[in-house]
Amino acid sequence: MKDPKLDREGVIVALTEGVGATFGRASRRSFFEQLKRMETVPQFEEAKAEEKQLLIDLLAIACVYQCVIVPVESTRSFLGVLRRAGATHLRVAGDKLDRRYANRVHAASVGFMRIVGEMKAPVRLLTYPTLKRFVISALQFYRENKSEPSVD
């Protein structure tokens, strides 16, 4: 049974607001599909409420990483290859992707990764072979690090 006290959409909505319809829709769809499946993973079902919330929030971050950050950074890298080959831009679906675009997406990516860094979450948690592996790894990370004193 779903716990009505858990915030299932706050982080994904905050992270996808303003990223554009294509990236935002893909991130949200991926998140809600995976969340539905994750809630049936035994380790998730057995977790404490605070651990479940962490898993939900981390899943939202992972979905944005996979659906936004990885593709835009790949595009930025590809634009670098094209630039070295003499091209000034790449046209995709009517959009002109150029050095200015590459700089903007890189800035967004750096900001996103700063948030991940502030959480002290390793990037390896953002990519996973299965949801069960994601849940186990994230819970292990959380349980190992929750007792460390804050350095504020």
pTM of this structure: 0.80
Nearest to 78 by CA among 64, 93, 92, 59: 92
| pLDDT score of 150 | 47
> What was the pLDDT predicted at 151?
46
Q: Which residue has the tokens 């009517």?
A: 94
Report the helix count and the strand count for the chain, using DSSP H and E.
7, 2
- Look at residue 56 and tell me whether its pLDDT is greater than 90: yes
More confident call, 144 vs 106: 144
- What are the Cα distances from residue 47, in Å, to 25, 52, 58, 89? 29, 6, 14, 49
Give per-residue burial for 61-71: e unless 16+ CB within 10 Å, then b.
bbbbbbbbbee
Instruction: Residue 137: count other Cβ atoms within 10 Å of its Cβ.
Output: 15
Residue pair 45/109 in contact by the 8 Å Cβ criterion: no
Residues 6+ apart with CB under 8 A from 82: 89, 90
Q: What are the structural domain ranges in the chain?
A: 10-123+131-141
Residue position matching structure tokens 């915030």: 7
- Average pLDDT, stretch 71-87? 81
* Polymer length of the chain: 152
Q: What integer pLDDT is reported at residue 148 of this predicted model?
A: 54
Predicted confidence at residue 93, as pLDDT, reads 64
Per-residue pLDDT, averaged over 83-94, amounts to 77
